[in-house]
Amino acid sequence: MINDNKVKVVALWSAMVVGAGCQSAPQVTPDAAEQVEKTPTKAPGSNGQSDGVEVEVNRQPLERSTPAEAGLDVEALERLKERAQSSKSDALVVLKDGKVVFEWYPQGEAPGPIEAMSTTKSIVGLAVGILVDQGKVRLEQPVHEFFPQWNQGRKKDILVKHLLNHTSGLQADRNTAEIYRSKDFVALALAAELVSAPGQEFFYNNKAVNLLAGIIEKASGQRMDHFIAQALFAPLGIKDFGWTLDDAGNPHAMSGLQLSALDMARIGQLVLNKGRWGDQQVVSERWIEQSLARGAAPSCGLLWWRNVDWRTVTITPEIIERWEKAGVDPQKIKALEPMFNKPFGIEAFGKEVARLWKVDDLPAAFQKEMWSKGVPNGKWEEGPRSAYNANGYLGQYIYIEPHSGLVGVRQMAWQPEYKDASKVDGMNDFMGLMRALVAD
């Protein structure tokens, strides 16, 4: 990928060929899926989950309106509902200007908290922001100030922001099997080798994100789930949630939170409101802006993802020259001649390269031929940003569209049959269908 910020991007391709916006890289393997099955959705205090914490919560119901009153395209809304149904979604919620305008559940009633998968990361990012606002954490703060064993070698250069923007340089697999086999997710991250200089290489890193649970606990004096319950959820009126712990008692940070669709929508509305809920500034507007700003990779901020109106990749003469100088296989370059100087959409570009190279694992091919040599796979251009999202395995989404006041949530609960990935419909068109609800 293009290296606009002098950060090499090595694991985002699979993130960007998924849908209209930007989807996080696949992060849950069959091993991890079995872990989800073993720790089903439960409220705080349930066996095997977060033990809960006594928090005073004043839960006010969200205001409601109708699609017509909100000015939604009724036909577009019906298409969204039909796709939710055909993809076996378990919950679909749409807010417009802070009001619930549409809810759909296959059983007619809300199912309660559902595993949020990697949308958990984005919510953990908000918790870090609250601690930054309180002066207890700094973005540029070395992680070794929380974990002194890192105050040596190259690990002393890893900053808090590197955990949030996926540039820590810590070794991690592209799947989560190693993590779920570990009894202590924080200790696993601390013991990881450094495979690249901190701040230099973007790699979607579940292992590194789990270290945020330890930092939040040390900075706040509370276990992460307890801190989030008090500092983030209580002001929003969220009280019914669960959080999966590892065997050492650490809440997972890469995933593991269970929330209802309406409470996921509250999180989305908080972000749309620039951190404000009612008369309370829960997290600063500055933090929301930093979280959503372009980070180490074009579509990633600080554990939140950025949608743009369009994005293209072109193999230009300048790109070809860089490939040749870097020693990219001449046969691989020649095979791509039909694509030279032609702009492609992200998904079309990936499919065409895979066809011409005759490969199934395109990210691995790009890593071998280009990214490992420090060169991009094309010239990337993108239109203006139009929306933001948090997303996770099975197609969990929080979609936020500031200019139209839209917030959308789609949830899908784990089922044993989803061990077969071919049976999973992650509703990758969800964000595009959300955009169609309001005319530009």
Q: Which region among 26-35, 64-73, 134-143, 198-207 has the lowest average model confidence (pLDDT)?
A: 26-35
The closest alpha carbon to 275, from 267, 285, 266, 290, belongs to 285
Residues 88-116: b if buried by 16+ CB within 10 A, e if exposed: bbbbbbbbbeebbbbbbbeeeeeebbbbb
Q: What are phi and psi of 197, to 5 degrees?
A: -65, 135
Place of tokens 């094309």: 378
Q: Residue 118's pLDDT is what?
A: 97
Arithmetic mean of pLDDT, 309-313: 85
Which segment of 24-33, 217-226, 251-260, 298-307 scores lowest on mean pLDDT? 24-33
pLDDT at 384: 74
Helix (H) or strand (E) holding 132: helix 119-133
Residue 30 makes CB contacts below 8 A (sequence gap 6+) with 419
Q: Residue 242 has which token pair?
A: 């669960």
pLDDT attached to residue 49: 57
Task: Identify the band that residue 38 occupies on the pLDDT scale cut at 50, 70 and 90.
Answer: very low
- For the cut 60, the answer to whether the pLDDT of residue 16 exceeds it is no
pTM score of the predicted model: 0.84
Domain architecture of the chain: domains with CATH: 13-61+109-308+398-435 (3.40.710.10), 310-382 (no CATH)
Q: In the predicted model, what is the mean pLDDT of residues 136-149?
A: 98
Q: Residue 196 burial (CB < 10 Å; 0-12/13-18/19+)?
A: middle
65: number of CA atoms within 13 Å, CB side? 12
7 band by pLDDT with thresholds 50, 70 and 90 = low
Helix axes 206-220, 119-133, angle to 10 degrees: 30
Over residues 370-384, mean pLDDT: 84
Name the least confident of 73-87, 374-388, 390-404, 423-437: 374-388
Q: How far separated are the first and last CA of the chain, in Å rounded?
A: 30
Residue 364's pLDDT band, with cuts at 50, 70 and 90, is: confident
Could you give the CA distance from residue 438 to residue 188 in angstroms, rounded to a whole number? 45
Looking at per-residue pLDDT, the higher value among 28 and 304 belongs to 304
The residue among 7, 292, 12, 15 whose CA lies nearest residue 167 is: 7
Instruction: Supply the mean pLDDT for the chain.
Output: 89
What pLDDT is attached to residue 347?
87
What's residue 423's pLDDT?
Answer: 93
314-363 pLDDT, tens digit per residue, is: 999 999 999 999 999 999 999 999 999 999 998 899 999 999 999 998 98
- Using one digit for the tens of pLDDT, what is the confidence trace for 85-117? 999 999 999 999 999 999 999 999 999 999 999
Q: Which residues contact 1 (CB under 8 A, 6 or more apart)?
A: 9, 12, 13, 297, 298, 371, 376, 377, 378, 380
Q: Where is pLDDT greater, at 274 or 34?
A: 274
